[in-house]
Amino acid sequence: MKEKSGHIATEEKYLAEMEQEYEKKREEKKSVKQILLDYVIITLSSIVYAAGVSLFIDPNNMAPGGVTGIAIILNRIVPLETGTLILFINIPIILLGVWKFGIRFIVSTFYAIAMTSLFTNLFSPLGAATDDILLAALVGSALIAVSIGSIFKRGATTGGTDIIIKCLRLKFPHLKTGALFFMTDVCIVAVSGFIFRDIDSALYAGIAVIVTAVVLDVVLYGRDGAKLVYIISDCQERITDRVLADLDVGVTHLSGAGAYSRKEKKIIMCVVKKPLMPRIEEIVKEEDSDAFMIITSATEIFGEGYKSYFSEKI
């Protein structure tokens, strides 16, 4: 058992070092123009983030998780502005990030935190853009998600729980990032209900958390959800020919055998975008109505016609 644990720890350390080396090389390849463009986009994204917090979320007593949620809660307890609290809470977290990931990763992150804190304070005196709490939850969370996604794509983060969870993932790679975010957000939302003494605000904050997660996924990974299809048929050649000719979709043949009949068969496997699924079903129905077809969701696809390897992985 000790030997296995040591092997896993060594592998985790190696993977962490490889990730840091990749980030270092990626940064070194950037020109001055690209770096300036990164910081312009980070600045604009910080303004959008601050608008979502100061004009929609904060004035409507919602604390939708993360350091921003903690700062909104503390703002009702201590005489400090929300933006200032965001900065103060992030300082020890940034130091943790420097220790774990190096100064190169943290510079752009600290800039993003400083800008979001500054603009959050600047927008705060403007008050709520709407008194409709549902509308505020939807618009505010969408603005926050779009801005976080844009900042992530520029190699930075908004600090806070992003860095903490990244550190936890290095130590406990079996833990799911989404689950960690969800647990921390639920705790913060629950506490906000007690602090604000308003269960409705906590529930709307929960809606904001969900909307942020959904929109953030779309911003980072796009809506390239597709269907993975397996087709088992005695007419696999005809089905394959039609899929290739009619839909221009790549097809792979897998070798299989029936457990009962012991008869060997070629299994058709292909990935198709959702709008093409009705045509696949129509082709299979026309060529072999007795065919066995399995359809499942494919949330991320890398390769020709979809994403390029690694470049879009956040």
Helices (H), 29-128: 32-52, 66-75, 82-101, 103-123
* Complete domains list, the chain, with CATH: 31-221 (no CATH), 226-298 (3.30.70.120)
At 216, the amino acid letter reads L
Whole-number Cα distances in Å, 262 to 131, 230, 258, 259, 265: 68, 19, 5, 5, 9
* DSSP letter (8 states) at residue 94: H
Evaluate if residue 151 carries a pLDDT over 80: yes
Residue 227 — very low, low, confident or very high, per pLDDT cuts 50/70/90? confident
Q: Which residues contact 199 (CB under 8 A, 6 or more apart)?
A: 193
Q: pLDDT, tens digit, for every residue of 88-110?
A: 999 988 888 788 777 766 788 88
pLDDT at residue 15 in the model: 47
Angle in degrees, CA 48, 52, 58, rounded to 5: 145
Q: What predicted TM-score, i.e. pTM, was given to this entire model? A: 0.68
Q: Backbone phi, then psi, for 253, in 5-degree steps?
A: -100, 125
C-alpha atoms less than 13 angstroms from C-alpha of 24 in its C-beta half-sphere = 9
Residue 136 — very low, low, confident or very high, per pLDDT cuts 50/70/90? very high
Evaluate if residue 64 carries a pLDDT over 60: yes
Q: Is the Cβ–Cβ distance between 105 and 22 less than 8 Å?
A: no
Residue 83 — very low, low, confident or very high, per pLDDT cuts 50/70/90? very high
Evaluate if residue 86 carries a pLDDT over 70: yes
Q: Is the Cβ–Cβ distance between 106 and 94 less than 8 Å?
A: yes
Angle in degrees, CA 225, 295, 236, rounded to 5: 120
Sheet with 292-298, strands from edge to edge, namely 252-257, 264-273, 226-232, 292-298
H or E segment and range at residue 311: none
C-alpha atoms less than 13 angstroms from C-alpha of 200 in its C-beta half-sphere = 4
Q: pLDDT, tens digit, for every residue of 264-274?
A: 888 999 988 77
pLDDT at residue 6 in the model: 45
